[in-house]
Chains A and B, each alone.
Chain A
Amino acid sequence: MRELTYLEAIKEAIRQVMKENEDVFMLGEDIGLYGGSFGLTRGLFEEFGKDRIRNTPIAEAALIGAAVGSAVTGMRPIAELMFSDFSTVAWDQIVNQAAKIRYQFGGKAKVPMVIRTAHGGGMGFAAQHSQSLEALFAHIPGLKVVMPSCPYDAKGLFIASVYDNNPVIFLEHKILYNNKKYSQHVPEEMYTIPLGKGEVKKSGKDLTLVATSYMVQKSLEVANELKDKMQIDCEVVDLRTIKPLDIDLVIESVKKTGRLVCVEEACSFGGFMGEVASQVAEFGFDYLDAPIVRVASKNCPVPYSYVLEQEMIPSSDRIKENILKVLGKA
């Protein structure tokens, strides 16, 4: 069975939707001949030409604005922001325009667009190229936010995002792009994974780990190690999309395990897992046998130096320690 990397899976999804639907096109910086900063669009320019793989000047506000305008008038744009940090340069177009248009026009317009962007740290890109900004997006009514953790999900979620009639922020973790360790079988045919449906990536009975994006992979590694070495059986829930949020799946899991550890890469203060924790506390309180614990990044900009960056971002050890703490084994 063929295996694809995360990057290859997303690229295949783009190629297939573009072949299937003439209204889909891409715009972004250096996505043409150059093939994108991470090489994700390499080959697409040759295949679809410059009209449908549109290279833009360095102008995030205008390129997102152009995506919004074309979406409202019948296209299905895929806008690439090279790094999710640059969304801040286009913040008005995302937050006040894309997210608001449908509602403020009384439900009479729709904005079917995807903003694909590389996020997360762990690669030494420092403070302005490594952030995890998902909570900011998720906070805005009108936006959907997708955070795939693996190639299979990335493809299905991407196709679903393109066909969704709302602005979707599609956050791709840069550590996952080319790492063969995370390659997996991805069917050649097109398929979709509905936005708003999480998935249990590993079932277990002792404790629930809920995570997003790359932290799902880290959580799985920790869960497998604990199972092998300590017979601790964690369940790993991958939210896949944080908005809409599949809180039922998390509560279902907690019902079984009675314990919840939330893992995310963003800074802990105001992090999205605060929302998850509060909903579980509100709607699943009776199932909890221990306080909910969150493992997240420290509350600082992402530092450059490797040693500091590793200290900031949740490590396997930190996840492990918190699991043991919740289980009363620390």
Chain B
Amino acid sequence: MKENNFKIANKFEKLSRDKKIEMLRKMYKIRHFEVEVDKFVLRGMIYGTCHLYTGEEASAVGAISAIDETDYIVSTHRGHGHCIAKGADLNIMMAELLGKGNGYCKGKGGSMHIADLDSNNLGANGIVGGGLGIAAGAALTCTLKKNNRVVIGFFGDGASNEGLFHEALNLASIWKLPVIYLCENNQYGMSTSVKESMNIDRVSKRAASYGIDGITIDGNNVIEVYNTVSHFAKRCREGVGTVLIESLTYRWRGHSKHDSQVYRTKEEVEEWKKLDPIKKYKEYLIENKLITEEEDKEIENTAIKEIKNAVAFAEKSEYPDISEVEKDVYSD
């Protein structure tokens, strides 16, 4: 979809074959990670709740591949994809989801709070929109330390109706903070459609209120996401500051562990599934002779194998010792 007047270079073209394949690999990892999480859900092994990212893989992988390892991300409750794209260890992630002591948060966080500080992933958030201010703050550090880093603040369409959205984007805009606000518009906030919750058709139009760039892109096209985020990350580093990117995508699964999905039709879901971001990207890679059908299968199978290992790792890991309960409340 062409809805903007930005001249965005095709930086993707210049990527090495390895890097391009790595992006596919990550998308497969996310897809199959969620398959296994879903199995755990069915077996009653995910305590509390979790939110699957299936169908939105291009958004996390496109965006995060376009920034550096030293750059930061702030994630959401639907955060498994962001976490994997930023380079988290699948075993440790899966262990956290099962509440094991060797998980990323020692079992204290779970799916909604998974964070991997070592990869500059500042964590998922159980509060819708809760990360918007934190993203501005991380970007403020980048500005103050002049370290030339940028931040991607992920959030949902639903989150854009929270008050903090306005406060954070306004603040980021006046301070020209190097933060890319990336709205993953998957058409619904829980059961409430975007149409029902906003009086405008594009979240990106809200950028006008802050005098920052706003753009809507095809969030199921990993190349488009990559190029757009690359473009604006560069501008952030050049001191131009904040941007609002709206990445149009779709959540294939229910909102969380239990969802009757009365608010949408099966046909609608099927229509969106035809726009499968992984299928689209792998076909591109095959057409452009970057990989063969066989290599694609191989990449997918390797991802599946890695996830299965993560499952086995998590299952045999130990629960935390109960003496942990009151530790980590304060820093020393």
For A271-313 the 0/1 string (1 means CB < 8 A from B) is 0000000000000000000000000001111011111100110
Alpha-carbon gap, A299 to B197, bound state (A): 38
What residues of A have a CB within 8 angstroms of the CB of B48 in the complex? 123-126, 129, 304
Query: Are A58 and B109 in touch, CB under 8 angstroms?
Result: no
Chain B residue nearest to A299 in the complex (CB): B326
Query: Are B112 and A129 in touch, CB under 8 angstroms?
Result: yes
A86 at the A/B interface (Cβ < 8 Å)?
A: yes
Chain B residue nearest to A86 in the complex (CB): B127
Query: Are A59 and B162 in touch, CB under 8 angstroms?
Result: yes
Supposing A57-B161, A61-B163, A304-B109 touch, asked if A29 and B190 sit within 8 A by C-beta, the answer is yes
Query: Are A305 and B263 in touch, CB under 8 angstroms?
Result: no
Q: Which of A30-38, A159-167, A248-256 lies at the interface?
A: A30-38
Query: Are A37 and B192 in touch, CB under 8 angstroms?
Result: no
What residues of A have a CB within 8 angstroms of the CB of B191 in the complex? 30, 32-34
B126 at the A/B interface (Cβ < 8 Å)?
A: yes
Supposing A29-B190, A34-B262 touch, asked if A58 and B322 sit within 8 A by C-beta, the answer is no
Query: Are B99 and A307 in touch, CB under 8 angstroms?
Result: yes
Query: Are B126 and A298 in touch, CB under 8 angstroms?
Result: no
Alpha-carbon gap, A32 to B263, bound state (A): 10
Interface residues of B in 234-291 (CB under 8 A from A): 260, 262-263
**How near does chain B come to A59, taking the closest CB pair, in angstroms?**
5
What residues of A have a CB within 8 angstroms of the CB of B328 in the complex? 300
Most central of A57, A85, A124 by chain B CB within 10 Å: A57
Partner of B127, one of A128, A299, A305: A128
For A20-52 the 0/1 string (1 means CB < 8 A from B) is 000000000110111001000000000000000
Alpha-carbon gap, A126 to B263, bound state (A): 27
Query: Are A312 and B325 in touch, CB under 8 angstroms?
Result: yes
What residues of B have a CB within 8 angstroms of the CB of A129 in the complex? 48, 112, 126
Chain B residue nearest to A304 in the complex (CB): B110
B134 at the A/B interface (Cβ < 8 Å)?
A: no
Alpha-carbon gap, A312 to B108, bound state (A): 12
Chain B residue nearest to A82 in the complex (CB): B190
Interface residues of B in 99-132 (CB under 8 A from A): 99-101, 105, 107-110, 112-113, 125-130
Partner of B99, one of A30, A128, A304: A304
B324 at the A/B interface (Cβ < 8 Å)?
A: yes
Query: Are A308 and B322 in touch, CB under 8 angstroms?
Result: yes
Alpha-carbon gap, A32 to B193, bound state (A): 12
Alpha-carbon gap, A86 to B190, bound state (A): 15
A127 at the A/B interface (Cβ < 8 Å)?
A: yes
Alpha-carbon gap, A308 to B108, bound state (A): 8
Alpha-carbon gap, A125 to B127, bound state (A): 12
Query: Are A58 and B325 in touch, CB under 8 angstroms?
Result: no
Query: Are A57 and B107 in touch, CB under 8 angstroms?
Result: no
Alpha-carbon gap, A6 to B73, bound state (A): 41
Query: Are B129 and A304 in touch, CB under 8 angstroms?
Result: no
A55 at the A/B interface (Cβ < 8 Å)?
A: yes
Alpha-carbon gap, A208 to B36, bound state (A): 49
A62 at the A/B interface (Cβ < 8 Å)?
A: yes
**How near does chain A come to B157, taking the closest CB pair, in angstroms?**
9
Q: Is the interface of A mostly helix, strand, loop or mixed?
A: loop
Supposing A300-B325, A305-B108 touch, asked if A58 and B47 sit within 8 A by C-beta, the answer is no
What residues of A have a CB within 8 angstroms of the CB of B180 in the complex? none
Query: Are A58 and B161 in touch, CB under 8 angstroms?
Result: yes
**How near does chain A come to B44, taking the closest CB pair, in angstroms?**
11
Chain A residue nearest to B191 in the complex (CB): A34
Query: Are A304 and B108 in touch, CB under 8 angstroms?
Result: yes
B49 at the A/B interface (Cβ < 8 Å)?
A: yes
Query: Are B190 and A34 in touch, CB under 8 angstroms?
Result: yes
Query: Are A89 and B162 in touch, CB under 8 angstroms?
Result: yes
Supposing A127-B126, A128-B127 touch, asked if A298 and B320 sit within 8 A by C-beta, the answer is no
Query: Are B126 and A304 in touch, CB under 8 angstroms?
Result: no
Alpha-carbon gap, A305 to B326, bound state (A): 13
Most central of A33, A306, A307 by chain B CB within 10 Å: A307
Query: Are A306 and B47 in touch, CB under 8 angstroms?
Result: yes
Query: Are A301 and B329 in touch, CB under 8 angstroms?
Result: yes
Alpha-carbon gap, A303 to B109, bound state (A): 6
Chain B residue nearest to A130 in the complex (CB): B48
Supposing A58-B161, A300-B325 touch, asked if A305 and B110 sit within 8 A by C-beta, the answer is yes
Query: Are B322 and A126 in touch, CB under 8 angstroms?
Result: no
Query: Are A304 and B107 in touch, CB under 8 angstroms?
Result: yes
Query: Are A59 and B263 in touch, CB under 8 angstroms?
Result: no
**How near does chain B come to A215, taking the closest CB pair, in angstroms?**
18
**How near does chain A come to B327, taking the closest CB pair, in angstroms?**
8
What residues of B have a CB within 8 angstroms of the CB of A33 in the complex? 191, 262-263
Supposing A58-B128, A58-B129, A129-B126 touch, asked if A30 and B163 sit within 8 A by C-beta, the answer is no
B87 at the A/B interface (Cβ < 8 Å)?
A: no
What residues of B have a CB within 8 angstroms of the CB of A308 in the complex? 99, 107-108, 320, 322, 324-325
Sample of 12 A–B contacts (CB below 8 Å): A37-B190, A55-B196, A58-B161, A123-B47, A124-B48, A127-B113, A128-B127, A129-B126, A304-B108, A304-B110, A311-B325, A312-B325
